[in-house]
Amino acid sequence: MIQKSFLRNCPICQEVKGWRLHGQRFTLSEDHPLKEGYDVVACESCGFVFADTAVSQEDYDRYYASLSKYADAATSTGGGALSWDAARLKETAELLARFEPNRDAWILDMGCASGGMLKALQDLGYGRLAGIDPSPGCAQATRNLTGAETWTGTLFKCPGWKAWTV
């Protein structure tokens, strides 16, 4: 392993250096914020492993809001339109159901894409479902597919939570 100074501080403890575990490189369009790839690093203080990138949260938010590949159910994963994607979502939903068997529990899919995971959970009998996605198209597709409460937003810019006061 190579020791390095991070491009961003450790999200857990704010340490500034650690070890490079892997160099993740992509073949992406010029408008993608991660076009250069990133290093996967381990913090030398707490051991947290994360993507060391100089790309800002605002850049990610802008990318996923306007250029999300998940908005088109016919060409992307996450919506369950493709048979293998639906099988993957069903398998994941069944795994999640083992951890939360209460069908009346609220479940929020943060980054819901076009709603395939919420649909798979709905098929298992869950009725209190909600989704948030930075792409308005994804939020609408999720609403159309599931009838779930959906909002356009991110983890860092959450919409109002009135639906969560049960």
Interaction between residue 43 and Zn ion (CB under 5 A): yes
Nearer to Zn ion among residue 21 and residue 97 (C-beta): 21
Contacts (Cβ under 8 Å, ≥6 apart) of 146 = 115, 118, 119, 122, 129, 131
CB-facing half-sphere around the CA of 105: CA atoms within 13 A = 14
Nearer to Zn ion among residue 18 and residue 80 (C-beta): 18
Q: Residue 3 Cβ, how far from Zn ion at the closest point, in Å? A: 14
Interaction between residue 12 and Zn ion (CB under 5 A): yes
Interaction between residue 13 and Zn ion (CB under 5 A): yes
Interaction between residue 44 and Zn ion (CB under 5 A): no
Which of the residues 68 through 97 are near Zn ion (CB under 5 A)? none
Among the listed ranges 38-46, 68-76, 77-85, 109-117, the one in contact with Zn ion (CB under 5 A) is: 38-46
Nearer to Zn ion among residue 6 and residue 63 (C-beta): 6
Between CA 63 and CA 50 the distance in angstroms is: 20
Residue from 45, 57, 66, 144 that binds Zn ion (CB under 5 A)? 45
- Integer angstrom CA distances of residue 132 from 26, 109, 142, 149, 152: 26, 6, 9, 9, 6
Residue from 28, 46, 67, 105 that binds Zn ion (CB under 5 A)? 46
User: Of the candidates 151, 144, 100, 150, which has an alpha carbon nearest to the alpha carbon of residue 126?
Assistant: 100
Interaction between residue 9 and Zn ion (CB under 5 A): no
Which residue(s) pair with 18 in the sheet? Answer: 4, 43
Strand order in the sheet with 38-43: 2-5, 17-24, 38-43, 49-52
Contact set with Zn ion (CB under 5 A): 10, 12-13, 15, 43, 45-46, 48
